[in-house]
Chains A and B, each alone.
Chain A
Amino acid sequence: GAVVSQHPSWVICKSGTSVKIECRSLDFQATTMFWYRQFPKQSLMLMATSNEGSKATYEQGVEKDKFLINHASLTLSTLTVTSAHPEDSSFYICSARGRTGGTDTQYFGPGTRLTVL
């Protein structure tokens, strides 16, 4: 099946620093990638939709200047959390849209656990 990787799998950083998370589709081209955030015991919340070669579409309440998304190629999207603060600590998961058995589905990366001190 389709594989999506994320790097790093976990990161600890100081408040005020920026953190970049990479999401790659390994065996298929993904014109659309999605970035989610999941706080403990809560559901995945869509942050933004990333389309290759165009600006990301952010969900309501997500600051586009704080969460910078770049989708420069069909296999790579990056999320940069700028000036991270402790409240940004969360599990960040990307997904890539692919097609299996004639059905479009989303394949998820393994997630990146961010802890901001």
Chain B
Amino acid sequence: GESVGLHLPTLSVQEGDNSIINCAYSNSASDYFIWYKQESGKGPQFIIDIRSNMDKRQGQRVTVLLNKTVKHLSLQIAATQPGDSAVYFCAENWGRAGGTSYGKLTFGQGTILTVHP
């Protein structure tokens, strides 16, 4: 079936480096994407979202890039800090009204980001 997945399950960086977390999706009907950060023992925390009519969106220290041609999504974190250490999930929200997938949020497998001081 169609799914959202990640290229790298783990990423280890030094404090101050820039981090790039990748996500591949296979559903060409995908219209909306969200990146979540989940720290140990906590719920997913919304970071940034992007719609399919955009290819880039910036937040505070984070940038999401969307390449619909190759169905690829990435999250860039600038000047990574130890507090950024967490599992990062991309999530896909898609579906036609009345369809069985309408409004559903489907998560990728997640990437563990470890930031070393």
Say if A and B assemble together. no
